[in-house]
Amino acid sequence: MPKLPIVADFKDLDKGDTELVGGKGANLAEIYHAGFPVPPGFVVTVEAYDLFLQENDLIHKIYDILGSLDVNDPAQLEEASKRIQRMILTSKVPADVSQKTISSYKKLSGFMKNSLVAVRSSATAEDMPGTSFAGQQVTFLDIKGEANVINKLRECWASLFTARSIYYRVMNKIVHEKVKIAVVVQKMVQSDVSGVMFSIDPVTNDKDRIIIESVWGLGEMIVQGSVVPDTYVVQKGTFAILSKEISDQSIRLSRINGKTKEFEVPKKLRDRQKINDKQIIALAKYADKIQKHYYFPQDMEWALEKDKLFIVQTRPVTTIAQTAKSEKTEKNSNVKFAEAPILTGAAASPGIGTGTVRILKSPKEIDKIKKGDVLVAPMTSPDYVPAMKKSAAIITDEGGQTSHAAIVSRELGIPCVVGTKEATKLLKDGQIVTVNGQSGQVFMGAGVKKT
């Protein structure tokens, strides 16, 4: 059996290499080969991860800790996670792994020498049906220099053992030992605008529509749900733009003067459409072609730099096979309300849920949630997942249909409304509300059955 590579260029990989380079790495290599505009890069493979664990004698130490762990004990889970991550972050990267990673980084940088790169975790169990692993592993943007790339490599490996990742695997009955992690190193796109697009409607599963979301600056804000994006709906086939919802965006994530941080969006740009109609149609055509290439609906991330579009990630839509949500929506559609909605936002996960409002300002407050409550937060992150699983419905101030709250709610089959802008201000703890995740509306009270 030939020895597996420690580092592999996109050109030497394809979608069949998931076990070697994880879902993210394999899909990037596949669309790179297919001729789509993908920033160049390479992958530090799971062989490097295995070698790191072996040379530092970490395998038994890690799985002994996990074997006796009760993930439903938050303190025990957090302590186990910290112990494992500390072992990884303080262990030496094998010389062979360091040398080959640095050599590939130099080659990628070319005459620019220390190029800026994105360093992205790529787990072998990502994007399975019903489990997207949304936000479970880490991505680092604007990384520069050999030492920094090696340090981020270690941090990506450690992210496999955050408390939320451990909990997520156990809750989804995924065996820890079967999940490994590769690391994608990709030339950085300095996005003027970036976003996410689905080759089907992710809420209704309408196969004739393409949904595109966009924000000023780097795309992390759209995935995290920390801003409300523009949303464009395009008809598949004709590529007619069916609707445009333009958001007012006051902050963006950008690299300016060598620093990547949040900056204010100039006032003249705040309520402006982020990309023009020609670019919307070009993205929709990419979405359609990528779906046809995979013979399956795709969830894609894109970036625009100096009027050039790039595809920086693609993965299968993980919720398309779930029919329970649409059945739930039909079953609950005979509820009526005496008054108008008290809040509206983006419909993010279908269904109708009624419960007691619990406002969480941070994931440290997740113990406030009891089974059947309505979780209300500025936005969610993977640390909210234990509380999300207990909730009857979810409402957020920020985010769009591709935010963490939206994706995880669809996986869980929980009604969700995002981007309300003011849920945490208007709603009060203890109120009873009903959330319609199909229409994006929130009503006071429980409603009554239609007769």
Quick check: 91 and 56 in contact, CB under 8 A? yes
Q: How far is CA 303 from CA 23, 212, 397, in A?
A: 20, 12, 24
Kindly give the residue spans of alpha helices, DSSP state H, lying in 90-130.
95-109
Residue pLDDT, tens place only, 74-114: 889 999 999 999 999 999 999 999 999 999 999 999 877 88
- Provide the Cα torsion 28, 12, 52, 82; round to 10°: 0
If 0-12 CB within 10 Å is exposed, 13-18 middle and 19+ buried, where does residue 439 land? middle
Instruction: Extract the tokens encoding 269.
Output: 């740009």
Q: How far is CA 46 from CA 51, 66, 122, 144, 442, in A?
A: 8, 20, 9, 23, 45
CA-closest candidate to residue 405, choices 430, 373, 376: 376
How many of the other CB atoms lie within 10 Å of CB of 199? 26
- Provide the Cα torsion 49, 165, 122, 130; round to 10°: 140
**pLDDT score, position 40:** 94
Quick check: 403 and 224 in contact, CB under 8 A? yes
Distance of CA 163 to the CA centre of its chain: 17
How many of the other CB atoms lie within 10 Å of CB of 334? 12
Report the C-alpha gap between 53 and 231 in whole angstroms. 43
Instruction: Name the CATH superfamily for 324-449.
Output: Phosphohistidine domain (3.50.30.10)
Q: How confident is the model at residue 2 (pLDDT cuts 50, 70, 90)?
A: low
Run of H or E residues at 376: strand 374-377
| Sequence-distant (≥ 6) Cβ neighbours of residue 249 within 8 angstroms | 215, 216, 227, 228, 229, 265, 270, 274
Q: How far is CA 248 from CA 153, 219, 353, 413, in A?
A: 36, 16, 29, 29
**What are the backbone angles phi and psi of residue 189, rounded to the nearest 5°?**
-95, 125
Highest mean pLDDT among 58-62, 69-73, 260-264: 58-62
193-316 belongs to CATH 3.40.1260.10 = no
Q: How far apart are the first and last CA of the chain?
A: 69
**For residues 314-321, average pLDDT:** 77
Q: Which residue has the higher pLDDT, 126 or 55?
A: 55
**pLDDT score, position 17:** 94
Mean pLDDT across the chain: 89
**pLDDT score, position 328:** 45
What is the pairing mode between strands 181-187 and 139-143? unpaired
Quick check: 284 and 234 in contact, CB under 8 A? yes
Residue ranges covered by each domain of the chain: 7-187, 193-316, 324-449
Q: Which residues are catalytic?
A: 404
Instruction: Extract the tokens encoding 106.
Output: 């130099």
**pLDDT score, position 447:** 67
Fold (CATH) for 7-187:
Dna Ligase; domain 1 (3.30.1490)
Given a cut of 80, is residue 136 above it in pLDDT? no
Given a cut of 70, is residue 15 above it in pLDDT? yes
pTM of the model: 0.84
**What are the backbone angles phi and psi of residue 374, rounded to the nearest 5°?**
-100, 115
2 by DSSP, 3-state: which?
A: coil
**For residues 148-174, average pLDDT:** 91
How many of the other CB atoms lie within 10 Å of CB of 387? 22
Given a cut of 50, is residue 193 above it in pLDDT? yes
* Segments of 103-247 assigned E as strands: 117-123, 139-143, 181-187, 193-198, 209-216, 230-235, 241-245
**Share of residues in the chain with pLDDT > 70 (%):** 91
Residue pLDDT, tens place only, 264-281: 999 999 999 999 999 999
**For residues 421-447, average pLDDT:** 93
Residue pLDDT, tens place only, 361-405: 998 899 999 999 999 999 998 889 889 999 999 999 999 888 889
| Sequence-distant (≥ 6) Cβ neighbours of residue 102 within 8 angstroms | 146, 149, 150
